[in-house]
C-alpha cells in the first residue's frame, strides 16, 4: 500500500515493512498523476528494518505493488534503472 507520495519520493508499506523510493512526480494531463521511480534508490527497508538489504525479489515485489496501485487508479509509473 502506498503511504505517501511527494514530488521527490514515494513511501510504500509491504507486509510489516516500509520502504522509501526516490523519484520525481509529474503531471501527464487531466487529473492524473505520474511518477518516475528510481529503482536503484531502493536498497534498504526504512527504520526499524534499515539494516535489512532488499533482495532483488523484494525490490520487484515492491515495484509490482506500486505498479498495481497506480494502474488501478489510472496513474502513470515509469521505472528507471
- Listed by start position, the domains of the chain span 2-80
Rounded CA gap, 26 and 60, in Å?
22
Instruction: Collect the ranges in the chain with pLDDT lower than 50.
Output: none
The predicted pLDDT at position 15 comes to 87
pLDDT tens, residue by residue, 13-34: 998 999 999 999 998 878 888 9
Chain centroid offset of residue 1 CA: 10
The predicted pLDDT at position 31 comes to 81
Rounded CA gap, 3 and 13, in Å?
7
The predicted pLDDT at position 22 comes to 97
Give Cβ neighbours of residue 80 (< 8 Å, ≥ 6 apart). 36, 37, 38, 39, 40
Amino acid at each position: 500500500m502506498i503511504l505517501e507520495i511527494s514530488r521527490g519520493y514515494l513511501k510504500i508499506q509491504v507486509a510489516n515493512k516500509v520502504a522509501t523510493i526516490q523519484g520525481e512526480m509529474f503531471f501527464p494531463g487531466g487529473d492524473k498523476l505520474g511518477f518516475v521511480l528510481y529503482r536503484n534508490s531502493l536498497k534498504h527497508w526504512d527504520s526499524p528494518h534499515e539494516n535489512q538489504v532488499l533482495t532483488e525479489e523484494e525490490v520487484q515485489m515492491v515495484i509490482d505493488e506500486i505498479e498495481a496501485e497506480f494502474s488501478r487508479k489510472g496513474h502513470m509509473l515509469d521505472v528507471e534503472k
